[in-house]
């Protein structure tokens, strides 16, 4: 395996970030809101910070978290797909990452006459 191809698989992952948002098609979802759980993975070369041990050479977990929070706790979206897409766009715009994977979970979605633990949308976007 070449050194450059190895770095394409380096990832920073934040799992189980919990937020309260107002996404959905139903009026109740938009007015009452509900919890959301987001997993985020970003791909970037981590060999430099791995050697330097300096925060300036990587991406801050805190800044990634805040970026996701602004989207999920921000403007209401009808679809989980739109919320996930907006997280991906924001992360690619704000951070020097090669790719981003976003997983947005809506626990206990309001599907009449059923019990579903989570509705989940997962997307993967690569820097153009």
Q: At a CB cut-off of 8 Å and minimum separation 6, what does 4 contact?
A: none
Tokens 């009026």 -> residue: 27
Residues 36 and 56 sit within 8 Å (Cβ to Cβ): no
| Residues annotated as catalytic (active site), given as ranges | 106
Which tokens go with 4?
A: 């450059």
Sheet holding 11-21, edge to edge: 11-21, 34-43, 99-107, 118-126
């Amino acid at each position: 395996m070449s050194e450059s191809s190895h770095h394409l698989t380096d990832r920073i992952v934040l799992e189980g970030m919990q937020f309260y948002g107002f996404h959905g098609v139903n009026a109740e979802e938009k007015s009452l809101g509900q919890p959301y759980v987001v997993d985020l993975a970003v791909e970037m070369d981590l060999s430099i910070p791995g050697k330097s041990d300096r925060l300036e050479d990587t991406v801050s977990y805190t800044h990634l978290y805040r970026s996701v929070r602004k989207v999920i706790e921000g403007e209401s979206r009808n679809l989980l797909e739109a919320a996930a897409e907006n997280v991906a766009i924001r992360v690619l715009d704000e951070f020097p990452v090669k790719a981003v994977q976003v997983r947005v979970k809506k626990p206990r979605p309001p599907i009449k006459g059923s019990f579903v633990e989570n509705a989940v949308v997962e997307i993967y976007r690569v820097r153009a």
